[in-house]
Structure 1
Amino acid sequence: MKSVSLSYPLFRPLRAAPLLFMLGLAAACSSTGGSKSTAPVNALYGQLDLASKGYETALQQARAGDDAASQKTLTAALDRLKESAAHCGSTPGCDPQRFFSVFDRLLRLKDGSFLGDETLGDEPSPTLADGAGGVAGLPEAQRSVTLLRGQKLSELIAMNGAVKAALEMWLTQWRPNLIDAYVNYQYLRYQMWPQYEKADLPEALLFGIMAKESGGKVNAVSRSGAAGPLQFMYATGLRFGLGTENGFDLRFDPAQSARANAAYINEQLKIFNNNLELVLGAYNGGEGRMRRLAGDRPDTSFYDPTIYNKLSRETREYVPSVLAAAWLFLHPDSYNLRFPKIDGAAGAVTLKRSASLAELSVCLGSAGGMEEGWFRTLRNLNPRLNPQETQPAGARVQLPRLLEEPYASRCVEGPWPILAADLHQAVAPAVQAPPAPARAPARATGTRNYKVRNGDTLIGIVHRLHCSSVRELAELNGLRHHRIRAGDVLKVPVCR
């Protein structure tokens, strides 16, 4: 990951200013200068000005309760902004940061931000409530996505250098992991999201944590012993009810893990005065350590050097990575990202013939267009089952609803279940260790004198030599009846 400057504050989202405030800078710039050398950049700033006016129009439409028109205006403004920003890098004198500022504003308005009592200032407004104009204008589903303890999640994600760097990582090197996490989550969503919804926490945050922690692999276990889709340590899991049930570790249960995670987040939000960055830092680096660092300053920034510089590199990268993944969950199209369309409706089948999850994965193949196969999904949805262990006919197996019909047509009769069973029952031959190579016997290369000590016997001396025999030693020294006494000097072979 590239290094970033993390002086604080890097970015504090302003309340929307009447008549474009900060965005008006672009318009002012476009009105200055008239020479041919400034014409290209002025033209781009003119497009930026139009996008800014689109923001103001969309804001007014949202206040009037016309959400459909507001979203349409925002989409058009974002498209205009993307097109003009694409030419900024090759246009002399163009400042890309101006475009990013407008882009950030448009995305936050798309989340429903800045719809309330807007005043110019650096401090966030008090908790928003229905009827105040801030929340009432949002569809119910969007409220649950964007609110965190009465605050807009988008307003809590500071678009600073660390988050931008994490966005780039998710969109480049980590992109396959992000897509996999999204696919895994969509099939687990019916189990996990209700737990967060009950706790009044945003779904984007749940996805961001899961994407960074396990990528949606329910059976994941870290080197430190953290387990499950949300990677609970054993002691922390016990604290939130994730013990064992009939020998099953509940940290691997998606619904129970999400419930415990929501309880943890809400507990820490109270402790850290709703400072989400500190809460995420505590989740990764330990709440005790974060409390010691933050002390009695719960309003301080995670990026304050007195906190940030004393955290592990893992925690310093973890917090912006979670927030960046949450941001992309809310705004994929605005970052040239397209998540696959997933039908994650829950389903189940009662096995008509015995089969393991591995066998079901073989006979289901790429049903439903899943080119990667269904093994991971089946394992995620059935964490209590050993995927290699054959389940008897009559057992209940959870799977996406869209697989119920393929199961009936592919996995009950015909060649595929027979092939799957044959492959599953195959046993690789055991590897036998080759016999140890025989040691070449040691050979004598000459003789030397040996003075017999108390307790010595002829056979004992031979054993220490490793290259002679009692007979050879007796003949070499002319011994009768193999008798030796302490003080005798014998000739013995020099062994090699």
Structure 2
Amino acid sequence: MSDQVFPRIASLCVAMSMALAAFVPAAHAASKRDQAAVEALDARMATAEQRYRAALVKIGNADPSGGAESDAALEDMEDVMADCMKQKGCSMPTMLATYKRLLKSQADAEAQVADDDAMEEEGDDDHATAAIAADVPEAARAAQLLADDHRFDKMVQYNPAVQAGIRRWLTDMRPALMSSYENYSYMRSMMWPQFERAGLPEALLFGIMAKESNGKVHVSSRAGAAGPMQFMYGTGKRFGLGPDGTGFDTRFDPRASAEASAAYLNERMGELNRSIELALAAYNGGEGRALRVYNGANGQGFWDAPVYNQFPAETRDYVPMVIAAAWLFLHPKQYGLSFPKVDAKPATLRLARPASIYELTICLGNGGTRDGFMRALRNLNPRYEADSWLPAGATLNATTKIVGLYGRHCAQGARAELARQLVMSDPTSAVVRGTAVASSEATVPTPVASAATPKPAKPAKVTKHKVARGETLTAISKKFQCDMRELAEANRIKAPRYSIKPGQTLKLEGCTAN
């Protein structure tokens, strides 16, 4: 199946959703002329749909003309959509129904051509057909959500400051925007429902996350803000975030941080006349300052000079940058922007053998991605450090693609053993210790120690270790050949993060090389 067909349908999804959001039924019955025009549009859409279905058959038969035919059919549909928006009495819901039929046709066609050979070579397209079919309801729901999110356009100002932000995201900050979208795609099923329930646009969630953390869950700022939505400790605690009793700070949890962010924004907007700009200013510059400025503003908004100039430069930059990222999230095609295609269907990975996220990252390979799966695994499993060893039978949040690659390359086999060797390697063992001898002397046998030869003193047994900067419990357990769980229990270090600090003294319980 052509890789381009499904993205084109997804683009059509956005176009239809935009049109549906903007559609306003006519107040009066359409004239005969209007009715005739609508019937003509319906006929054109039906013809385009039939043309598209015929193209699917060609693609399924490996006919090279199928891809061009499907593209042409979709372009016809886009033209019909554009004309429908201008035509009185044209039913946008009817057009959306056509789109849903197309999605199902696409999924069915994918299911017919998928077979076991698609999983034999990693260079093949690893998009599981069953996952695409299962995603059809999710795609339709996403389409409706995007339609709802276009109300964001009316909630903010598209002014030169926002345009400058868009310029920055599309130039020197484009790599950060792309990474943010990829990271968000993996976490979307955890995060966006929290904003949906709160009645907030998904685009706002993406904009904040892109500016705050680029979607990297474990980011912490110098000021102490933490997690994908960058909550300060005190603010996070007010909204249910913080240490959960196991040693894990839930500010790093994508689902919990998104829920707290939505609650925080709604609280701020309730105080600030439902202004997204002022709520964002509070998010960055402090809610106390934002409320004081608003109360003294006599109804003026963020972009009015008496209000704008009372916020620090960082906040004056932050607000338009968040709105710009959100705007691009909603209108990528308008700016020639193609976001990465991410296969992020959620799935559970059960380990067949002990492993760390580092080891999994190596044995999984790239799987058709640019950067592999380390960031995805870390973001989806924020409680685990990348080098923490997880026992066989442990479960991780993953995707169907990751689970498939794990079964092929990580459960057993040459790549699994190579990954284990790499993560267990100790650089210090590469250093040859002792005095080198000349080659002419290399064959001289070493004299046997006589009774008069003093024996070297046996080194004192090491029972404690002071943690150096950059060391982890995993590295220490390897160095002293310890059982990591026994070492953790002896030092009251809580799983699953096994956090230690530089300067901390550890008792080397359960170690053999001490």
TM-score by length of 1: 0.59
Q: How many residues align?
A: 313
Matched residue type, 1:183: E
CA distance in 2, matches of 1:308, 1:71: 45
- Aligned pair in 2 of structure 1 residues 344, 55: CA closer, same or farther (>3 Å)? closer
The structural deviation recorded for 1:347 is: 1.0
Could you report, residue by residue, the CA deviation over 1:135-168 in whole angstroms, capped at 9, with x for unpaired residues? xxxx8755544547xx921112312110000000
Q: Is the contact made by 1:57 and 1:70 (CA closer than 8 Å) also made in structure 2?
A: no
Q: Is the 8 A contact 1:144 1:200 kept in 2?
A: no
Superposition pairs for residues 183-262 of structure 1, below 5 Å?
A: 183-245=182-244, 246-262=246-262
Match of 1:429, SS state, is helix
Q: Distance in 2 between matches of 1:316 and 1:189?
A: 28
The alignment-based identity, stated in percent, is 45
Q: Which residue of 2 aligns with 1:337?
A: 337
Partner residue of 1:157? 156
Look up the match of 1:316. 316
Deviation string 1:360-404 (CA, Å, 9 cap, x unpaired) is 00000112x112111111100110011101111111111111111
Partners of 2:228 and 2:254 within 8 A in 1: yes
Q: Distance in 2 between matches of 1:376 and 1:202?
A: 25
Change (3 A) 1:254 1:70: closer
Indicate the SS of the match to 1:258: helix
Q: Where does the alignment leave 5 or more consecutive residues of structure 1 unmatched? A: 1-14, 17-53, 73-138, 433-496
The answer for unaligned runs of 5 or more in structure 2 is 1-21, 24-79, 99-139, 432-514
In the alignment, residue 324 of structure 2 is paired with which amino acid?
A
Checking the alignment, whether the CA contact within 8 Å between 1:351 and 1:395 is kept in structure 2 is: yes
Residue 65 of structure 1 aligns to which amino acid in structure 2? Answer: S
Q: How does 1:439-458 map to 2 (within 5 A)?
A: none
In structure 2, what is the Cα distance between the partners aligned to 1:201 and 1:62? 31
Larger radius of gyration: 1
Q: Distance in 1 between matches of 2:82 and 2:298?
A: 34
Partner of 2:376: 377
**Partner residue, 2:288:** 288
| Change beyond 3 A, Cα 1:58–1:314 | farther
Partners of 1:347 and 1:326 in 2: CA distance: 28
Contact 1:360 1:411 in 2 (8 A): yes
Q: C-alpha distance in 2, partners of 1:243/1:67?
A: 45
Q: CA RMSD in A?
A: 2.9
> What's 1:105 paired with?
none
**Conserved? CA contact 2:84–2:90, under 8 Å:** no
Pairwise mapping of residues 468-487 of structure 1 onto structure 2 (< 5 A)?
none
Q: Distance in 1 between matches of 2:268 and 2:429?
A: 52
Q: Is the counterpart of residue 362 in structure 1 residue 370 in structure 2?
A: no
The letter of the residue matching 1:346 is P
1:224-248 Cα shifts (integer Å, max 9, x gaps): 1100000000000000000211111
Change (3 A) 1:64 1:270: farther
Paired with 2:412 and 2:429, the residues of 1 have a C-alpha distance of 33
Query: Which secondary structure does the structure 2 equivalent of 1:349 belong to?
Result: strand
Deviations 1:386-437 (A, max 9, x none): 11011111111111111111101100111112111111111222999xxxxx
Distance 1:315 1:205 in 2: 16
The letter of the residue matching 2:307 is I
Note closer, same or farther for the CA distance 1:63–1:315 as it changes in structure 2 (3 Å cut).
farther
Amino acid at match of 2:239: F
Could you say if the C-alpha distance between residues 194 and 69 of structure 1 is closer, same or farther in structure 2, counting changes exceeding 3 Å?
Answer: closer
Between the aligned partners of 1:377 and 1:202, the Cα distance in structure 2 is 24
Shift in alpha-carbon separation, 1:326–1:343, aligned structure 2, 3 A: same
One-letter identity of the residue aligned with 2:174: R
CA distance in 2, matches of 1:67, 1:162: 36
Letter in 1 for 2:288: G
In structure 2, what is the Cα distance between the partners aligned to 1:188 and 1:262?
Answer: 16
TM-score (ref. length: structure 2)? 0.57
